[in-house]
Every structure is written in C-alpha cells, then in structure tokens.
Structure 1
Amino acid sequence: MTVLQSSLDRGMDQVSSRLVESSTRSSRNAMAEIDWDLPLDPTMYACRPEWSALYGTEYWDELTTEQRIRLTRYEFASVMTIGIWFEMMLQEMIIRDQRSADYHSSEFQFAMTEVADECRHSLMFALASQKMVGASYHPSRRVARMGKVFMNTAKNEVAYAGILIAEEILDVMQRGSIGDDTVLPMIHTVNEIHVLEESRHMRFAREQVRGSMAGVGRLRRETSAVLVALGAEMIVLNLVRPQAFVDAGLDKHRAVGAMLSNEHRHRMLRSGCVHLMQFLDEVGLLTPSAEKIYRRTHLL
C-alpha cells in the first residue's frame, strides 16, 4: 500500500466515523414526524413555483393558480418516484461495493447507514406522492435499460460520482423550496429530512470519489468523466416524466417542449450545480468531453 493510499484510507475512515456519529445524533423518521392522514391544503404548492419545470414559460403564464398548484404536485410526484428508482440503484451499487469490505470499519458502518436511510427515503417519497396525487412514475424503457447497465457495471469513481450527482440534483430542487410558506407543510418536512440526511451521503460520496481518483491515468479519467456526465444527463432528462404533465391536465407535447426550452429552468439548474461542477473539476472529472454533455444538459 502506498503512503498516499494509506493516508486516503485513514481520511475515509475518519470521515465515515464522524458521519456515523452524526447519523446517530440527528437522523429523522418521516413515518413518525408526518401525519399522513392530515388533509392537504388545496391552495398550497408541492414546490416553490420557481422550481416548476414550466415556470417562466408562456404556458405557465396561461395557467390559473389552481392549475399551477396541480402541476407542481404531479411534477414533484414524478421527481420523488423517479428518485425512488435512482435511490434503489444507488443502494445496489453501495451494497456491491461494500460486500467484501472490512465489516468492522467505519466506512462499512456508514455505507450500511446510508442504505438504511435510502430505504426510509423511498418509503417517504412513496407515501408523499401517493398522498398528493396517487400517481407513480417510472423512466422510459430505454432509460431503464441504460440504468440497469450503469448499475451493474459502474464502480469506484463512476459509481460514487453517479451517486453524488443524483443526490445533488434532488438536493438542489428540494433545498429551493425549504422555508417557502406557499409549499405544503408535509413537503417541507419531506424536504428537510431528505436534505439533512443526503448531506451526509454526499460527503461520503465525495470522499469515495477523491480516493478513487488518486493517481488514475488519463484514459481512465477521460472515460470515467464521460460516463459520469452521461449518467447526469439521464437523471436530468427523466425527473419530470411526460405523463406527469398529462395527469396534471396539460398538453403533453407542448409542456415537454416548454420544459426542454425553458431558459429559467436552465439557469436554476446551473446555479444550483455550481459547487457540484467545482468538485468534479477539482477531482479531474470535468474534462472537455464531459463539459459538452453538462452544457447540453444545462448543468454547466
């Protein structure tokens, strides 16, 4: 073992130990905190209106307040249920990565804590989306196949950078609605719990990526950077499913077109992902080829 690798391992163990302690002190349980039988206020949104995929478009301007509220609820149900699909993939990658680990290490202990967190988050998202609209969404068959390939093949920096990006994008969207008094109290709690616990998951993923990228060659760095960027593109393009627009009572083709060309949404994504892009640049995963993908996905 090299001196560098030994130092990285010690750093990972120290970070993991602190994360385990933090989880013990401050983890929360949506099953106990949220009154799932409480009626929802029909005048409240599911996200800050500015985070709707259609906000800032002509289509949004044509909608009544009631239609806008309904739209955000279906949009957020899509984000949450697609989030479940991503989180289940992330759990499988973490379990595979830790299968041969030292089970007494802090790294293994926090990895299992993260899997347990993700299970609770998935249940929380499922209950919240069911409560709001009763609809559940899945990615297209093509994306589902791509996701399965990614899940079964990604490892080291590709796996953990993919985990980091999925968590960062959800975090940005949820953090943007915390504290907004037009948003449903139930969603406030969902967002607060997820943002709190995902902050630990993102720290863990960053340390894993740093460790994996230490001393890698140019070919591996270039390949990994592109694979991670393609994973990010898959996430961004699938969070709000076209069927969610249909279920909200909108014209699917017009709504999807408005979302894809929405400059306001693009700016919100770029500003929310500044720190993510800085981190990827820091560890060598923001190569020119990867940059092209992030720019067309409006993350950069």
Structure 2
Amino acid sequence: MVSSVVKGNDRFLGILERLTTKAIDDYYNPYRLFEWPDKLPDNMWWMSPELMTVHGTEASERLSQEQLYRLSRYESVNFYSLNVHGIRELLIEVTRRIHTKGFETPSEFFHHFIGEENEHMWFFAEFCLRYGEKIYRQPPAGALSVPHSKAESLLVFARILIFEELVDHFNSQMALDDRLHETIRAINRIHHQDESRHIAFGRELVELLFEDLQKSATQEELASISEYLRRYMRYSVETLFNPQVYRDAGIPDPLAVRAELLEAQSHLGFEQRIFRKTLKYLEKTGLVGEYQTVS
C-alpha cells in the first residue's frame, strides 16, 4: 500500500506538488501542436543510426545507404508501435489504482499522468498510421505477466518505470538529432518533456513501495523481484529487434538476421547502454541485487 508509506512523507508530498504544478503549467494540445506533412523523405534517417539495432554490427556493413535509410523507417515505426502498446498497458494498470485504497495520495497526479499518456498514445499511433501505414503487433510477453502477490503493485510501477526509461533513452537523443525530420524530432522532444516528470514520479513511488515491501519480504521474494525485473529489461530490449521490421525493409531471412543482431548487440552492450541509468537506480535501491538464489 502507498498511503501508509507516504503519510507524513514531506519529501514525496513536495515532489507530487511540484510535478503536478509543472504538468499544469506545461499543458499543450497535441491535436494542434504537431504539423503532419503528407510524406516524410525516404532518403534520410527516421531514427538516429546509433540507436538502430544494426548499429556497429557486421550486418550494417552489408547494407547500402539506401537500405539503411529504409530500415530506419521501419525501426522508427516499430519503436512508436511499442510506445502505443506500452502506454495502453500502463494506462490500464494506473486506472485500476486511481482513487483506490492505498493510492489516495498520488491520485491527483495520476489524473495528469493518464491524460498525458493518452495523448502520447494518440500521436505515436498517428505517426505509425500516417507514415508506416501500420502499428506493429505487440510481441508476446510469455511468462512476464505480473504475478498476483503482495509485490504486484511494486512490479507494475517498476515495469512502467523501466518502459519509460527505455523510451526516454531514445527520445532524448532523437529530439536533438538534426539528421532527422523536424516532425520526428518534435514528437520525441515533447515526449521527453513529459516523460521527465513521469520518471521522476515513478522513481519516488517505486522506492517507497519497495521500502514498504521490505518490511515483510523474505530473501526468496526479493530474489524473485530482482530476477523478474532483469528478465523484463531483457524482454523490453529484445522487442526492438522485430523480424517483421527486417522483412518490411527488404532484408532476406529476417529471423536469422534477428538472431545475428541479438548475439552481436549482446557483445556490444546494447542493453547496458540503454539501461545504464536505470540499472544504477535499481541497484542503488536494492530492487536488483545479489540475493540468495530462489530454490
């Protein structure tokens, strides 16, 4: 529960007040904010090349500049599709908890969070449908559904935080990349602006939920949480390696290419670069750490 943790917690209450005020002051109408040209140029980057799944690999060297531009188009559409699916999930989970027992204190901020995320989902979907003519399907998560337990809310908000930090790693770089079309830079820039607040809130809430859980958690339960979050980070990164993207980009044998790229990027530290700040935070709080192995 949250209320028992934040009651009298002046730091958390102060952060909530500042973030809520900033959300009000920074409010914009996304339906009027963006300019949507009829078409984006084919012969330019749609995603910063350093963020693409082929970057630094032998596979990249086999592709022409034209093929790399085409691949960047579909990797871009896949990235925004993942945003659509991720936002839909987090909206469901946050809406389930707003104005419920234990979440009274952050519920006012939840209203701003829900409103902003709904608008983010709209403009990411708009981009995908206008310029990719599709929203890629959500990859199966398998056994990564959040288990029903006393750690359920902690895992839900930790997943939201991990998702937001992954997305913001891309947003913050593409917002400033003048090799990209202004429309692409704009949606990344405005999303980064909002996600900065959401990440600040998420880190505080996750830490409070974890502190509360630790009062009764066993070593085995802590180990399970740590392993789950590591697996979720790995899964989140692997969703960027979509074989349908490689197929749409005209690359032969897309499943083999995906396997090759996952192996290559594992050696190049792709996941560690994306989650450098996130992992540092999770280890500092103790959410991810060296716990006794669960038998």
TM-score, normalisation: structure 2? 0.86
Task: State the Cα distance separating 1:265 from its structure 2 match.
Answer: 8.4
**Correspondence for 1:173:** 170
Deviation per CA, 1:145-173: give whole Å up to 9, x if none. Answer: 546x3287763321111111011011112
Change (3 A) 1:208 1:189: same
User: Structure 1 residues 268-277 or 14-23, which shifts more?
Assistant: 268-277
Question: Partners of 1:289 and 1:76 in 2: how far apart?
Answer: 38
**Correspondence for 2:181:** 184
Question: Partners of 2:95 and 2:203 in 1: how far apart?
Answer: 17
Confirm or deny that 1:200 pairs with 2:193: no
Task: State the Cα distance separating 1:230 from its structure 2 match.
Answer: 2.2
SS at match of 1:43: coil
**Correspondence for 1:269:** 271
Question: Partners of 1:43 and 1:18 in 2: how far apart?
Answer: 43
**Correspondence for 1:16:** 16
Question: Partners of 1:247 and 1:75 in 2: how far apart?
Answer: 10
Question: Partners of 1:230 and 1:44 in 2: how far apart?
Answer: 35
Question: Partners of 1:231 and 1:189 in 2: how far apart?
Answer: 29
Question: Partners of 2:183 and 2:292 in 1: how far apart?
Answer: 37
Question: Partners of 2:260 and 2:43 in 1: how far apart?
Answer: 24
Change (3 A) 1:166 1:6: closer
More helix by share: 1
CA contact (8 A) 1:80 1:129 kept: yes
Aligned length: 285
**Correspondence for 2:5:** 5
Change (3 A) 1:185 1:6: closer
Q: How do 1:24-39 residues align onto structure 2 when only pairs under 5 Å count?
A: 24-39=24-39
Q: CA RMSD in A?
A: 2.7
Task: State the Cα distance separating 1:72 from its structure 2 match.
Answer: 0.8
TM-score, normalisation: structure 1? 0.85
Q: How do 1:119-130 residues align onto structure 2 when only pairs under 5 Å count?
A: 119-130=118-129
User: Structure 1 residues 242-251 or 31-40, which shifts more?
Assistant: 31-40
Task: State the Cα distance separating 1:276 from its structure 2 match.
Answer: 0.9
Q: Percent identity?
A: 21
User: Structure 1 residues 95-104 or 118-127, which shifts more?
Assistant: 95-104
CA contact (8 A) 1:30 1:124 kept: yes
CA contact (8 A) 1:225 1:287 kept: yes
Change (3 A) 1:46 1:28: farther
Task: State the Cα distance separating 1:264 from its structure 2 match.
Answer: 8.3
Task: State the Cα distance separating 1:135 from its structure 2 match.
Answer: 2.3
Q: How do 1:1-300 residues align onto structure 2 when only pairs under 5 Å count?
A: 5=5, 9-101=9-101, 105=105, 107-140=106-139, 142-143=140-141, 146=143, 149-150=145-146, 155-215=152-212, 216=214, 217=217, 218-251=219-252, 252-263=254-265, 266-288=268-290
**Correspondence for 1:295:** none
